[in-house]
């Protein structure tokens, strides 16, 4: 799939629930109680139960992967975590991912991801490279 700088590759909002956190904890083995217990989250000064950082990162990349051709090869992916995603026990949390082509060269395409929770950007320098 040929890309040009500025192309919108994908955009989607993904709903995360407390059940999502339990499933991810089981799959990843990350059973830190800040991801499922309100009392522990409050005890350590957090605003509530947080989504796993790697779950947030995985959701962001999955939005792009779903939009790429099946044979596409991701050769690099990196992010910097800036703010947590607080998952409300009743309402969950909506994670919005917008992926835009940031650069294209002979070897790869850089896709820049804007990942937000509400009005807050939760990942910065979120970039994924796809082999040309």
pLDDT by 10s per residue, the chain, length 132: 689 999 999 999 999 999 999 999 999 999 999 999 999 999 999 999 999 999 999 999 999 999 999 999 999 999 999 999 999 999 999 999 999 999 999 999 999 999 999 999 999 999 999 999
**Do β-strands 8-16 and 74-81 pair in parallel, antiparallel, or remain unpaired?**
unpaired
Which domains are present in the chain?
Answer: 8-131 (3.10.129.10)
The closest alpha carbon to 126, from 108, 106, 107, 102, belongs to 102
Is 93 buried (19+), middle (13-18) or exposed (0-12) by CB count in 10 A? buried
Is 87 buried (19+), middle (13-18) or exposed (0-12) by CB count in 10 A? buried
Contact 34, 21 (CB under 8 A): no
Region class of 6: left (phi > 0), else alpha (psi between -120 and 50), else beta: left
């Amino acid at each position: 799939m040929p890309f040009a700088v500025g192309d919108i590759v994908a955009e989607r909002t993904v709903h995360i629930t407390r059940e999502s956190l339990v499933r991810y904890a089981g799959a990843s083995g990350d059973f830190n109680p800040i991801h499922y217990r309100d009392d522990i989250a409050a005890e350590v000064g957090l605003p509530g139960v947080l989504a796993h950082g790697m779950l947030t990162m995985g959701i962001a990349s999955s939005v792009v992967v779903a939009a790429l051709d099946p044979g596409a090869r991701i050769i690099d992916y990196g992010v910097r975590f800036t703010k947590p995603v607080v998952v409300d026990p009743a309402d969950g949390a909506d994670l919005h991912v917008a992926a835009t082509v940031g650069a294209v060269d002979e070897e790869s395409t850089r896709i820049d991801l804007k990942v937000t929770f509400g009005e807050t950007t939760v990942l910065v320098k979120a970039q994924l490279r796809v082999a040309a």
